[in-house]
Amino acid sequence: MIGPRSWPEIAGTTSVVALLADPIDHVRAQIALNDRLGAAGLDAVVVPLHVPAEGLSSIVAAMRRADNVVGLLATIPHKQALAALCDELGPNAAVVDAVNAVQVRDGRATGEIFDGIGLVDAATANGLSPRGKRVLVAGTGGAGAAVAAAVANDGPAELVLANRTTAKAEALAAKLGAQCPTRLGPPTASGHDLVINCTSLGLDPDDPVPIDLGDIEPGAGVIDIIANPEWTELRRRADDAGHPTMGGGPMIAHQLGAIIDFLLPEAAAQGDRPGIEASRT
């Protein structure tokens, strides 16, 4: 039996953001986003919609015509397909050809992907800014590519990509080379000031450690974007060796704040942005 819930008040003036996924029952982002919108007193609501792939273009076309729909959010499997339906892509989305947030204004759709933006914002807030650093990103799948793009835009001294599929990493390195010196390398901490795990290794306690920390540089930072478990084996080993670390929780928190700013820029300009948790986990 479902217990009582606290829902935002929805009126004719409420701005609507549609969260698109297939399936939808596992998605929880709308809960955190609606909590933030309510806490900030913003007249907006995020509504999850179950949209199969074959219905995506029709839904997006309809949403463009609804004047109170200010944005779309996307998760699996719609990130790449939704990017193709946008009129304009932000700098990170243009690199990875995927979006997880789309601002809709006057029928025009502008998309961006915020995984990497959230990571860079959180890392900077926690004293692990990539700017001016030699950075390793291990794993260049969906989230890893977005992280690499955001890191490249932040101005690192060098960006090294490590991925099991060389062709995918090579293609990404070719795109990012215009932003900063970028090359491929092995998943080892040696020679880097900051290492970031964007692989799924660490979700299971029996997983191998994705980055070799054997020759890690003194004072180098270690970030693992996995949020659950909070302490992966990679992060634990780095912490035990005295290195500054960060898990995936702050990345998620900062990503949500950045998405709200993007979808509701008028509220952000008025200083109504929901606060970011001061998490250092």
Q: Which of 22-36, 83-97, 122-136 has the weakest average pLDDT?
A: 22-36
Q: Is the link from the previous residue into 244 a cis peptide, with omega within 30 of 0?
A: no
Domain boundaries, the chain: 15-113, 116-250
Predicted confidence (pLDDT) per residue in 145-190, tens digit: 999 999 999 999 999 999 998 998 999 999 999 999 999 999 999 9
Contacts of residue 214, Cβ cutoff 8 Å, sequence gap at least 6? 188, 189, 190
Is 3.40.50.720 the CATH classification of the domain at 116-250?
yes
Q: What is the pTM of this model?
A: 0.84
Q: Are 61 and 55 in contact (CB under 8 A)?
A: no
The average confidence (pLDDT) of the chain is 90
What residues act catalytically?
79
How far apart are alpha carbons 19 and 50 in whole angstroms? Answer: 8
Fold category of 15-113 in CATH: Rossmann fold (3.40.50)
Residue 254 burial (C-beta neighbours within 10 Å; 0-12, 13-18, 19+):
buried
What pLDDT, on the 0 to 100 scale, is given for residue 168? 87
Task: Give the β-pairing of 101-105 and 69-74.
Answer: antiparallel
Tokens of 273: 């942005």
Q: How far is CA 21 from the centre of its chain?
A: 16
Average pLDDT over residues 230-254: 96
Over range 218-242, report the average pLDDT.
Answer: 95
d(CA 119, CA 136): 14
| CA–CA separation, 271 and 251 (whole Å) | 21
- Over residues 265-281, the pLDDT tens digits come to 876 555 555 544 434 34
Residue with tokens 């701005």: 15
Question: pLDDT tens digit string along 85-116?
Answer: 999 999 999 999 999 999 999 989 999 999 99
- Does residue 181 come out as left (phi exceeding 0), alpha (psi in the -120 to 50 range) or beta? beta
Asked if pLDDT for residue 194 goes beyond 90, the answer is yes
Identical fold, 15-113 and 116-250: yes
